[in-house]
Amino acid sequence: MDFEFTKEEKALQEEVRKFIKKESTPEMLKETEEMGDIYGAPEGRKIIQKMAAKGWLTPTWPKEYGGLGLSDVASYMIREEMGYHGLPFGFIAAHMAGPTILRFGSDDMKKKWLPRIASGELEFALGYTEPQAGSDLSALNLRAEDKGDYFLLNGNKLFNTSCHIADCHWLACRTDFTVAKHKGVSMMIVDLNSPGITISPMVTMAGWQTNEVVYEDVHVPKDRLVGEKNKGFYYLMAALDFERMFPLGRYRRVFDEVVEYTKETILDGKPLSKDPLIRQKLAQLSTEIEVTRLLYYQLAHILDKGGIPNYQSSMEKTFATECAQRIVNVGMDILGLYGQLKEDSKWSQLKGKVEKFYRTSIVETIYAGTSEIQRNIIAQRGLGLPR
């Protein structure tokens, strides 16, 4: 079996690399790191909208909606390059909401939203988690009352990252409390500037911001309903499958820099790279990174065949985020006490990346469903084991 990119895909990869090298600025790289790689802040919008003009933000979408009609393998390759080179790569609108609208939205909704998403003009924030629900998304309580021409929303959301820089909320809410929990949920697109929305920051151990969002008598026009009323839970499950596709590019970059560090750093008259224990650890990680790469592109292969990855997304997300933790743990071992220093210390190595990503990697095994949730999905849907 041949896992190589095609000649055309390799040419595209090289073109993307040259573009990123030319257009990246120190301000954009710093902003992206501070934001936790999400999209929506000013510097990120500048470069991403230039990429979007080339069709690279949504390359798999039909041309009528701003895409290029390319394969998902090409799309995944672009995201991997963006992560590796420090660009925002966490796109809610383009990579989670947009594909869901493509599959389940009305023609009017597709025409209204997809071209603006593909151009990078609009970014969404996920609105799933609530204080009482945690990982059980069928336990949502945000109430959306049908008032004829609009829905009236009241309730709370928690850990809604991106709300402070995004334009719209990709929201799951309850439109029927009288039926089974999963049958009374609907999806909506809400303008985050709507009167009655209060966004309060919550800073994670990674240093970037997530949010608490309160809805008080917020009016949402009926045409913002995604698909059919009360069928939102099924759309939500599809959107989650898209969310759990984790490019490892930025951690692969950290790994490459740690490898170079071992070649250049002399201890007791010899490079660290000659230490047998360090060599064994790096070789093990190199193998795991390759496994992650294959799991990642397997998802693209499933999409290219017309399917939606399900438990396979959980496999990739679990293995990739836990591999990321192993990369920075080994980085900590190799750098020793230097590994704990932040970028602003004069003694820090690799610009403090190992310390930064050590904290970030812990958060990433939690969002989009914890590793425990992912393993439950793999057991039930992948292996057919009972709940």
Catalytic positions: 243
Supply 297's token pair.
């592109």
Distance CA 170, CA 168 (A): 6
3-state secondary structure labels for all residues of the chain: CCCCCCHHHHHHHHHHHHHHHHHCCHHHHHHHHHHCCECCCHHHHHHHHHHHHCCCCCCCCCHHHCCCCCCHHHHHHHHHHHHHCCCCCECHHHHHHHHHHHHHCCHHHHHHHHHHHHCCCCCEEEECCCCCCCCCHHHCCCEEEECCCEEEEEEEECCCCCCCCCCEEEEEEECCCCCCHHHCEEEEEEECCCCCEEEEEEECCCCCEEEEEEEEEEEEEHHHEECCCCCHHHHHHHHHHHHCCCCCHHHHHHHHHHHHHHHHCEECCEEHHHCHHHHHHHHHHHHHHHHHHHHHHHHHHHHHCCCCCCHHHHHHHHHHHHHHHHHHHHHHHHHHHHHHCCCCCCCCCHHHHHHHHHHHHHHHCCCCCCHHHHHHHHHHHHCCCCC
Distance CA 81, CA 20 (A): 9
Other Cβ atoms closer than 10 A to 132: 10
3-state secondary structure labels for all residues of 57-69: CCCCCCHHHCCCC
Going by C-alpha positions, the residue among 102, 101, 96, 197 that lies closest to residue 142 is 197
Amino acid found at 226: V
CB 265 within 8 A of CB 272: yes
Q: Beta 197-203 vs 209-221: how paired, if at all? A: antiparallel
